[in-house]
Amino acid sequence: MLSYKIVPILGVLVAMPSNTVNPPGTSNSNQNAPLETIIDHQHPTFTDAKRDPSLRSAYLNFILERISLPEYITSVTYKTLEELPPEARADLEKSPEYMYVDAAIVLADVGKKKTRLPIIVTPYTFTRDTIQTDEEFVASLTGHEFAHVAFLYFGCTQFDVSKLRLDENGFFDVNVLKAITEIDACQNQLKSIVVNGALRQGISMRYFDNTKNDLYDSYLKFWTPTQTNPQVMQELQRSYFSADLCTPQTCIIMPSTTASLPGVFLKDMNGKLYRLPESVIKDFFSQKH
Ligand SMILES: [Zn+2]
C-alpha cells in the first residue's frame, strides 16, 4: 500500500509517496551526499518560516529533531497569538521577548532539580527583527531559553538566591530574580555564539550586540528600587559586574575631589547614570589607576 507523508522541501510543504523519502542519513539514493546537503534541501529555513506563518510549527519541529532536549525541558512548542494565554500575549506585546519559559517561579525550588518546564516559541520570534538566521534561532532557544530553565533546575553558582527572600513565606521580588536569570541566560547565549574570540558562522554582529545590550540592561536593573535589602542589591551589583560592561560609550569616570576613589557611573540608553559601588571600583579600577 502506498501511503503519503508531508515533507517540507525548499520551504514548501508537498505530499510525496513515503517510499520515495528516507529520513536524513538513511537514504540509499543519496548515499554519497553529505547529510547537510540533504537536510538543506528538505527543510524550511528560518527565512521560510519568517515569510510563511504556516511553516513555523514544522520549522520548529525540524530543529527539535536535531537537538536533544535536556532533562529539565519538558517540551518546546510553537503557539500562535490566538493559542497563547491572554496574560502572556499582553506581556509579549509590551516587551521585546519572543520565546518564553512557562513558569511560576518558587524561590525555594531554585536549584532543587525539580523544576522541569516547557518553552513556548511565539510568532514574535519570526516577526521581530532580532533573529535572522537558523543559527541565531538555535542560539536563542538552546543558548538562552534552555539556560533560564537550567538556572532554576540546577541553581545559581554566582549568587546565593535565598538572600532574596523577604519573609518566612518565601515572598520575594520576582523582578530581581528575573534580572539575575536574564544575565545568566545572556552570558550563556554569548558563550554559545562566540568561539575562540570569533562569532560562529550564521551569527551576525547585530545579534551579538543585541545580546550584550540585553545583558547590560538587565545588570542596570540592580539599581531599580525594590523591597530587597539594599545591601543585597549592592552585592548583586558587585557579583555581576564585569569589566566588559564598561566601554567608552557606557562608562563615565568622575574624578573625586575629596575621596581617594573616583566616582564611576554606568549610563543607560536615556543617559541616566548608575553609580558603581566602591567595592567594585576598588576591585576593578584601583589596580589600573
Ligand atoms: Zn531571557
Nearest to 128 by CA among 96, 90, 101: 96
**Locus of grid cell 510563511:** 52
Cell numbers of 233, please? 542589591
Ligand 1 centroid–CA 67 distance in Å is 20
Q: How far is the CA of 42 from the centre of ligand 1 (A)?
A: 31
> Going by C-beta distance under 8 Å and a sequence separation of 6 or more, which residues neighbour residue 152?
72, 103, 105, 109, 110, 111, 115, 117, 181
Cell of 14: 508537498
Q: How far apart are CA 53 and CA 85, in angstroms?
A: 19
Per-residue cell: 276: 558603581
> What spacing in Å lies between the alpha carbon of 158 and ligand 1's midpoint?
17
Give 106's contacts (C-beta < 8 A, 6+ positions apart). 115, 170
90 CA from centroid of ligand 1 (Å): 17
| Gap from CA of 114 to ligand 1 centroid (Å) | 20
Task: State the distance from the centre of ligand 1 to the C-alpha of 19, rounded, in angstroms.
Answer: 43
Q: How far apart are CA 183 and CA 41, in angstroms?
A: 37
Residues 266, 245: Cα–Cα separation, whole Å:
8
Q: What is the SS3 assignment for 223?
A: helix
What's the pLDDT at 76? Answer: 98
The pLDDT score that the predictor gives to residue 228 is: 95
Measure 12 CA to ligand 1 centroid, in angstroms.
Answer: 32
Strand locations in the chain, DSSP E? 4-9, 12-17, 73-78, 99-101, 117-121, 194-195, 198-199, 251-254, 263-267, 273-275
Distance 213 CA to ligand 1 centre (A): 12
Nearest C-alpha neighbor of 192 from the set 179, 203, 181, 180: 203
Ligand 1 centre distance from Cα of residue 183 (Å): 8
Report CA(185)–ligand 1 centroid distance (Å).
Answer: 6
SS3 170: coil
Q: How far is the CA of 38 from the centre of ligand 1 (A)?
A: 33
DSSP of 230-243, one letter per residue? HHHHHHHHHHT--G
User: Judging by beta carbons within 10 Å of its beta carbon (0-12, 13-18, 19+), is residue 163 exposed, middle or buried?
Assistant: middle
CA of 122 to the centre of ligand 1 (A): 14
Q: What is the dihedral of CA 189, 194, 195, 198, to 10 degrees?
A: 170
Give residue 263's pLDDT: 86
- Separation of CA 181 and ligand 1 centre (Å): 7
What confidence score (pLDDT) does residue 279 get? 86
Q: How much distance in Å is there from the Cα of 257 to the middle of ligand 1? A: 41
245, HSE (Cβ side, Cα atoms, 13 Å): 27
| DSSP per residue, 80-142 | -GGGS-HHHHHHHHTSS--EEE-----GGGTTSS---EEEEE-THHHHSSS--SHHHHHIIII
In this structure, are residues 140 and 92 in contact, taking their beta carbons and an 8 Å threshold?
no
Question: Average pLDDT by consecutive 10-residue portion of the chain (289 residues)?
Answer: 32 32 37 44 87 95 93 97 95 94 91 95 97 96 97 96 93 95 97 94 96 97 95 96 92 76 89 91 66
Distance (angstroms) between ligand 1 centre and the Cα of 148 equals 7
